[in-house]
């Protein structure tokens, strides 16, 4: 038998530990008393202070980059060059336009400048600088020194007088002759000379001759002291004062502003700063639209990234939408939408997703809608269905390219929107059946519509269909349509996206009644504009978004088109590209030309009547209104629910008595081999005809 001896403490009997892998081996543990603790962290191998290596390390730690940031990337170099040229061009034009003002100021100063120059000339000719020295020699009765100074004075003054007299005579004669021979040039020369003389006539108050442009929207440079003080002002400070806040990197230039990465004191999350954005901006004495804190969760929850704009975005010039003048969109790729606070382009992905846009009135929902629908319009293969339920005509610019366009807030307009969603469900079911029939080799990315499939089978018309419903709260709050609208929207959102059916919902009332949970919880892409409270914020961005720092409540209603764009749990701040109505009409005209050339105009755009197919059956309607967790329901209760869900179909049944309504339902279910039976439900109303959930056949919609 072998033994393994391990000594741990002194003067303690050894312990025997058996090794299970070797029945003949045991380990003897010998304990050492009063053993000194040993460090577990590896020692820091730092060079000795004062050595050349230590100085070199210190230099490299703070050394500037070898290649300036503006020269590292071609796009950054082009941007820097463009702005440099623009700056000096604007500066030159600014002062060139004000040249007459500068000239007038110089001419007004000319008399004072003339007097000063004459005085200086007289002092030079008379050599007044030597007078104090001569007076001192005379006062001290130093005759030899006085005579020497007097001779030197005469030697210096005589040629100055002769030169002055000659220059004055020549100038006078030349001016007199030129005034008769070339009066225009003489006048110009005189004005130029007066202007030059005016340079010497500057007042002692220091008022500049050149007008300076004071940019009130250009802010001071961000530094660490300002960040320290601002965080301390809002209560983000460690126990050791400034030592509780540390910079993860130096404050650096980041686009049109500055970026500071800060590690907050231990135990403080970055969300504590996000919820105090307004207070932070006040502490920094900067406009709130220039201060953008965000959490860097890739590092740790306490890492704060603070970006501060150099120029107030609210006063900065408008950045043009990339497709404003030319270009074509591809809905299978991200579409240009807007810009983040740094001025970087933000794209939005619609394919295989859906979009929900919410914000209070006046928050810029129309700007967002235009940027989205115009991008869709510029894809000739996309079919655009728009239901603008406000009736304001904000989206009329794209009407010529729409397959279906409805604008109004009457019941017939709401019914048209419902019919459009029903038609969308019928279309995705048709596409699902076709995709399901294809071999796996043709759908390697999964059973969904792709650009390759749409081009390979043009007869199937698999191009994207985008259904836009503006002011969708009109549907979700309507007494007769709300149940069906919620069910249809939920079904489209959950099942139709894989088949190229995209639903875009916009609302200016994102509260719970106006935005059903089944809809808001299923949308993949969300954009929340300015809202009033955290409930509306979470209704649009998802549960817990407010606590994760995505807070559209901090966005002012004056920042129109600005919101938080989220896909999943993370979001970014974005401002939709502002497109004027006249510009939207020009873009739509270009989209019409693209579609005409591609031969993809359809529906109302070619004057045809749109047939909104509805392939839903009474079984689909029963599944939509069936109470969750209920095994059986009486027929008369089902008829009442169906009448609220689809009054256009089932409302006449409610005018019958209970027996007649039950018979009507039984007759409607008979073709599907679903029979009603006598059911006793104690929780309801005893025994009556009804339907069991288990008797309904499973849905087969090709999901």
Measured in whole angstroms, how far is the alpha carbon of residue 181 from the centre of its chain? Answer: 69
108/100 Cα distance (integer angstroms):
12
Residue 201, annotated ligand binder?
no
105/14 Cα distance (integer angstroms):
103
- Strand-pairing partners, residue 677, are 690
Residue 338, annotated ligand binder?
no
Give the H/E segment covering residue 138: helix 131-139
CB 332 within 8 Å of CB 351: yes
554/294 Cα distance (integer angstroms):
13
The dihedral built from the CA positions of residue 354, 374, 309 and 287, taken in this order, carries a sign that is: negative
Cβ atoms < 10 Å from Cβ of 4? 13
| Backbone dihedral angles phi then psi of residue 35, each to the nearest 5 degrees | -75, 140
501/701 Cα distance (integer angstroms):
14
CB 222 within 8 Å of CB 260: yes
466/474 Cα distance (integer angstroms):
20
619/454 Cα distance (integer angstroms):
31
Residue 364, annotated ligand binder?
yes
Residue 456, annotated ligand binder?
no
- Strand-pairing partners, residue 383, are 465
Residue 360, annotated ligand binder?
yes
The separation between the first and the last C-alpha atoms of the chain, rounded to the nearest angstrom, is 68
DSSP character at residue 459: G
Residue 353, annotated ligand binder?
no
The dihedral built from the CA positions of residue 367, 372, 378 and 383, taken in this order, carries a sign that is: negative
Buried-exposed string 165-196: b where 16+ CB fall within 10 A, e elsewhere: eeeeeeeeeeeeebeeeeeeebeeeeeeebbe
Residue 302, annotated ligand binder?
no
Q: What is the DSSP string of 394-450?
A: TTGGGGGG-SEEEE--SHHHHHHHHHHHHHHHHHHHHHHHHHHHS-GGG-TT-SS--
Residue 359, annotated ligand binder?
yes
Annotated binding site: 359-366
Annotation: binding site for ATP? 359-366
């Amino acid at each position: 038998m072998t033994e393994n001896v391990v000594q741990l403490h002194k003067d303690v009997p050894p312990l025997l530990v058996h090794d299970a892998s070797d029945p003949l081996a045991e380990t003897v543990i010998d304990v050492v008393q009063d053993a000194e603790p040993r460090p577990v962290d590896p020692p820091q191998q730092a060079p000795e202070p004062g050595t050349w290596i230590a100085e070199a390390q210190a230099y490299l730690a703070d050394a500037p980059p070898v290649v300036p940031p503006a020269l590292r990337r071609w796009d950054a170099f082009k941007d820097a060059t463009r702005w440099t040229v623009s700056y000096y061009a604007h500066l030159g034009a600014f002062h060139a336009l004000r040249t007459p003002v500068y000239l007038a100021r110089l001419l007004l100063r000319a008399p004072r400048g003339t007097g000063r120059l004459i005085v200086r000339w007289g002092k030079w000719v008379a050599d007044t600088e030597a007078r104090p020295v001569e007076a001192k020699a005379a006062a001290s009765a130093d005759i030899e020194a006085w005579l020497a100074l007097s001779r030197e004075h005469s030697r210096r003054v005589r040629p100055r007088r002769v030169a002055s007299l000659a220059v004055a005579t020549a100038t006078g004669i030349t001016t007199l002759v030129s005034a008769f021979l070339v009066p225009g040039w003489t006048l110009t020369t005189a004005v130029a000379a007066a202007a030059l003389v005016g340079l010497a006539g500057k007042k002692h108050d220091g008022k500049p001759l050149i007008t300076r442009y004071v940019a009130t929207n250009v802010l001071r440079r961000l530094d660490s002291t300002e960040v320290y003080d601002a965080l301390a002002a809002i209560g983000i400070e460690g126990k050791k004062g400034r030592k509780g806040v540390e910079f993860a990197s130096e404050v650096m230039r980041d686009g049109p502003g500055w970026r500071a990465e800060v590690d907050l004191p231990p135990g403080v999350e970055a969300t504590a700063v996000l919820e105090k954005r307004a207070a932070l901006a006040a502490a920094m004495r900067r406009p709130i639209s220039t201060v953008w804190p965000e959490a860097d969760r890739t590092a740790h929850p306490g890492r704060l990234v603070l970006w501060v704009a150099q120029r107030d975005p609210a006063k900065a010039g408008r950045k043009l939408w990339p497709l404003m003048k030319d270009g074509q969109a591809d809905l299978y790729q991200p579409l240009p939408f807007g810009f983040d606070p740094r001025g970087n382009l933000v794209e939005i992905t619609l394919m295989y997703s859906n979009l929900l846009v919410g914000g209070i009135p006046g928050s810029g929902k129309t700007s967002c809608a235009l940027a989205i629908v115009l991008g869709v319009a510029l894809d000739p293969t996309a079919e655009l269905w728009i239901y603008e339920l406000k009736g304001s005509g904000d989206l009329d610019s794209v009407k010529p390219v729409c397959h279906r366009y409805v604008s109004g807030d009457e019941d017939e307009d709401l019914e048209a929107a419902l019919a459009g969603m029903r038609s969308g469900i019928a279309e995705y079911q048709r596409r699902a059946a076709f995709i399901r029939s294809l071999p796996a080799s043709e759908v390697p990315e999964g059973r969904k519509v792709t650009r390759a499939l749409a081009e390979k089978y043009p007869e199937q018309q698999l191009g994207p269909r985008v259904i836009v419903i503006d002011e969708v709260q009109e549907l979700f709050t309507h007494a007769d349509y709300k149940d069906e609208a919620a069910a249809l929207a939920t079904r489209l959102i959950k099942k139709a996206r894989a088949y190229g059916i995209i639903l875009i919902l916009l609302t200016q009332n994102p509260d719970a009644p106006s935005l059903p949970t089944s809809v808001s919880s299923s949308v993949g892409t969300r954009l929340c504009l300015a809202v009033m409270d955290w409930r509306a914020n979470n209704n649009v961005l998802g549960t817990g978004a407010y606590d994760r720092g995505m807070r559209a409540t901090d966005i002012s209603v004056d920042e129109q088109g600005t919101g938080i764009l989220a896909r999943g749990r993370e979001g970014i701040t974005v401002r939709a590209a502002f497109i004027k109505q006249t510009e939207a009409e020009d873009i739509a005209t270009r989209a019409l030309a693209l579609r005409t050339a591609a031969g993809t105009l359809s529906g109302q755009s070619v004057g045809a009547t749109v047939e909104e197919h509805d392939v839903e059956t009474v079984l689909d309607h029963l599944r939509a209104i069936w109470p969750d967790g209920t095994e059986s329901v009486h027929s008369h209760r089902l008829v009442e629910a169906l009448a609220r869900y689809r009054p256009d179909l089932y409302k006449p049944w409610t005018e019958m008595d209970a027996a007649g309504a039950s018979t009507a339902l039984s007759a409607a279910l008979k073709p599907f081999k679903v029979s009603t039976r006598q059911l006793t439900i104690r929780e309801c109303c005893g025994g009556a005809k009804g339907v069991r959930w288990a008797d309904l056949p499973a849905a087969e919609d090709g999901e």
